[in-house]
Structure 1
Amino acid sequence: MKEIRTANLETTQGEMTLTGWPIVFDVPTTINDPDGRTYTEVIKSGALDSCDLHDSTLIYNHDENRVPLARTPKTMTFTVTERGLSMVASLAGDNQTAREVYSAVKRGDLSGMSFAFTVPEGGSSYDPATNTRTITRIAKVYEVSVVPFPAYPQTSVEARGAMQTARDEAARREALKVTTLIRLRRIVND
């Protein structure tokens, strides 16, 4: 399932270059789901060790129907560090959207980034006791977006499926414990 998360973005002097840290390791983040519930999520160091970072695009506001602002490996590079994933993107001066995005980031009108990714089976776990999802492996980063607002319903909608499954499983285990206790009491009383 493709998921989306947010991060910060900056400009650099000279060419129209954007830099940012779309993924930061070991930093708890609060995710809001569509039902108004929240949970904590942490992307662990090492989650990108076998991640596919090739053919990722930089786009505006997750609009995949527009010309990309940059693409790996030609006009955008990712570097995995101890801190997380850093990004450097060189934007084309003859692209109207690129000029608008660069100008808005430079002025501080746009400062958010978001990234779309998938987690492979077994690449995350959920602890209902702490209400925390821990991501240990990311399979692919599809795109990085410059976005006007740091809150994204897409993130919660896509993450909600995995979270709801974990919550349902925790409730099922609790119900099984109660049923087992009732049966044991009947055996002892008989």
Structure 2
Amino acid sequence: MSTAILSPPVERRSFCEVRFDARRLQGYAATFGSMANMGAGYQERIAPGAFREALSGDVLALLDHDLGKVLGRTRSGTLTLSEDSKGLAFSLEVPDTQAGRDVLALAERGDLGGMSFGFTVPDGGESWQGTVRTLRSISLKEISVVSAWPAYPETELALRNAQAFVERKARQRRLTLAELSAWD
């Protein structure tokens, strides 16, 4: 009878800071210090340096945590990750695949909910103070572009580039003002 070693379940967290420019998404997959209400009566935050050791591994970029929808990876250089004082920054060259085109279309429309990441916590990688969990070391498995709401609400969605996006918003504003003035 063999004994299988079970790995811990992968946890996932969402964030909401993404910018796009041509075929590149950039932003933060996680931010440090923000408190997230995780439900079940506990909160969580990520300590600076939590991703430091994970940056040397091969990390995937996925669409909605779907392993069948790979958008990039660190090993090939299509995904770059770095840690700064704010959090886990990423830059992703979006592929010309159906999943990639979907992501770019959602980014252009402003429909992306943000970013998420899948991880495990190595032994000693977390500490608890009452009902607050602090993640001090994270084994990063993947980051994902998602349409869900962020677990850490202090992040923000920011779009960059898009002369067309700026022009579309200006047209929408003019139309709204014209409609409002028709009611006067």
Q: What is aligned with 1:12? A: 20
The verdict on how the C-alpha distance between 1:81 and 1:52 changes in structure 2, with shifts beyond 3 A counting, is closer
* 1:24 equivalent among 15, 18, 31: 31
| Preserved CA contact (<8 Å) 2:23 2:104 | yes
**Percent identity of paired positions between Structure 1 and Structure 2:** 32
Superposed, which structure 2 residues align to 1:80-95 within 5 Å?
A: 80-93=83-96, 95=97
Q: Match for 1:17: what amino acid?
A: R
Q: Match for 2:38: what amino acid?
A: I
Q: What is aligned with 2:116? A: 114
Q: Which runs of 5+ in 1 are unaligned?
A: 153-190
Deviation at 1:134, TM superposition (A): 1.0
Q: What is aligned with 1:145? A: 144
Larger radius of gyration: 1
Q: Which runs of 5+ in 2 are unaligned?
A: 1-7, 152-184
Q: Is 1:132 equivalent to 2:132 in the alignment?
A: yes
| Preserved CA contact (<8 Å) 1:24 1:83 | yes
Separation in structure 1 between the aligned mates of residue 100 and residue 88 of structure 2, nearest angstrom: 22
Separation in structure 2 between the aligned mates of residue 65 and residue 4 of structure 1, nearest angstrom: 17
Q: What is aligned with 1:99? A: 101
Report the TM-score, using the length of structure 2 for normalisation.
0.71
For residues 56-113 of structure 1, what are the alpha-carbon distances to aligned partners after superposition, in whole Å with 9 as ceiling and x for unaligned? 11111111123x11111410100110111100001122x1110111110221111321
For residues 99-141 of structure 1, what are the alpha-carbon distances to aligned partners after superposition, in whole Å with 9 as ceiling and x for unaligned? 111110221111321100111111112222xx10111111x21
Report the TM-score, using the length of structure 1 for normalisation.
0.69
| Preserved CA contact (<8 Å) 1:10 1:106 | no
The number of aligned residues is 142
**Cα root mean square deviation, aligned:** 1.7
Deviation at 1:53, TM superposition (A): 4.5
Separation in structure 2 between the aligned mates of residue 103 and residue 53 of structure 1, nearest angstrom: 31
Separation in structure 1 between the aligned mates of residue 53 and residue 61 of structure 2, nearest angstrom: 21
- Between stretches 75-84 and 46-55, larger displacement belongs to 46-55
Separation in structure 1 between the aligned mates of residue 136 and residue 109 of structure 2, nearest angstrom: 36
Structure holding more helix per residue: 1
